[in-house]
Amino acid sequence: MRLMIEAALAAATALTAVLGPVLQQPETRTAPVLPTVVVAPGTFAFRLPGEYLKGGWPVDAPERTVTFRRGFEIMKDEVSAADYAACAADGACKATENGTSSAALPVTGMSYRDAVAYAAWLSERTGENWRLPTDEEWSFAAGERLHDDSLGLPQEAGNPAARWLARYRTEAAADKHDAEPKPLGSFGTNSKGLADIAGNVWEWTATCYIRVAIGGDGQVAHSTENCGVRVVAGRHRGYMSTFIRDGRSGGCAAGLAPDNLGFRLVREKLSLVGRMRLLLAEALQGWLG
């Protein structure tokens, strides 16, 4: 009997922990409906992000084979100006400087901090877990639209000026010189079903900037990570300070600055407790009418 009572008390405590936030917030919360794509598991060649030095000279970053053993769910489209405006209207996000709130356009003029604030707001609104993708995830989801940052220059031609010029020429050749944000879907979808990948909006990722010194044996001698600067992904990689909203105002490590800064998010699967909480919230809201 004693064991039964203890088990009942434990179950009641667990139920209270799950129902607590629901009982405190019984009102219905609306949230944007955001189409997503499930990226299937797979393997791809991934050029590591960051700056790599060998013998004091900049060199191409190493390439690694990366395997995603489990797929992941990511937004089909970049977050729209209207969806972000809903977060700003709620007081959870900083308003855009361009004042655009169109549902047809991607939100631009976004800093890393803006993107993280929106992800937190959306997570709270939906009871789900939304976050920025890592650079690895974004690169894998980009599929055939992923740009390889390698310049292919021999190390003896490691003059920094030569590399900067080579990078500028490479990126300028691919640049279409059209910085005006276009309606969602204007750049089509890639083979994995994501729209506007590598269009004219660069997207924030969760990956920190890293500076790596490679020793004579080809191994990492030492590295420095700076999470005040994050990777932005698009037609080419960029590295921007987390407070920057306009890529053309500075912050890009090398090459051409991003035309626009926006983002899309990954939706992580809910834990068992998270799923129970969501189901109980829906049931309670239905009961309360």
pLDDT in tens, 213-237: 988 777 788 899 999 999 999 988 9
pLDDT above 50 (res 283):
yes
Contact between residue 208 and residue 49 where contact means Cβ atoms under 8 Å apart: no
The average pLDDT across 112-120 equals 98
pLDDT at 152: 62
Q: For 70-81, b where at least 16 C-beta lie within 10 A, e where not — what string?
A: eebebbbbbbbb
Instruction: Note the pLDDT of residue 11.
Output: 47
Which of the 8 DSSP states describes residue 241?
Answer: E
Q: What is the pLDDT of residue 28?
A: 42
Give the pLDDT score at 258.
86
- In 3D space, the residue among 199, 191, 206, 188 whose CA is nearest the CA of residue 265 turns out to be 206
Domain extents in the chain = 2-26+33-288
CB count within 10 Å of CB 42 equals 13
pLDDT attached to residue 15: 44
Section 82-107 average pLDDT: 94
Q: Lowest-pLDDT range, 23-32, 151-160, 240-249? A: 23-32
- State the pLDDT confidence band at 201, using cuts at 50, 70 and 90: very high
Q: What integer pLDDT is reported at residue 131 of this predicted model?
A: 98
With a cut of 70, say whether residue 17 has pLDDT above it: no
What are the C-alpha distances in Å from 171 to residues 167, 175, 258? Answer: 6, 6, 11
Q: C-alpha distances in angstroms, 182 versus 108, 112, 157, 188? A: 11, 21, 39, 11
Q: Helix, strand or coil for residue 171?
A: helix
* pLDDT-based confidence at residue 130 (cuts at 50, 70, 90): very high
**In angstroms, how far is the first alpha carbon of the chain from the final one?**
39
| Better pLDDT: 162 or 187 | 187
Model pTM score? 0.79
CATH classification number, 2-26+33-288, choose in 1.10.10, 3.90.1580, 3.30.450, 2.30.30? 3.90.1580
Alpha-carbon distance of 20 to 34, in angstroms, equals: 27
Residue 149: its pLDDT value, please?
Answer: 78
Tokens found for residue 160: 């920094």
Beta-bridge mates of residue 235: none
Joined together, the tokens standing for residue 151 give 């310049």
Measured distance CA(120)–CA(130) in Å, rounded? 7
Q: Is the pLDDT of residue 253 over 80?
A: no
> Among 209, 213, 245, 202, which Cα is nearest to 227's?
209
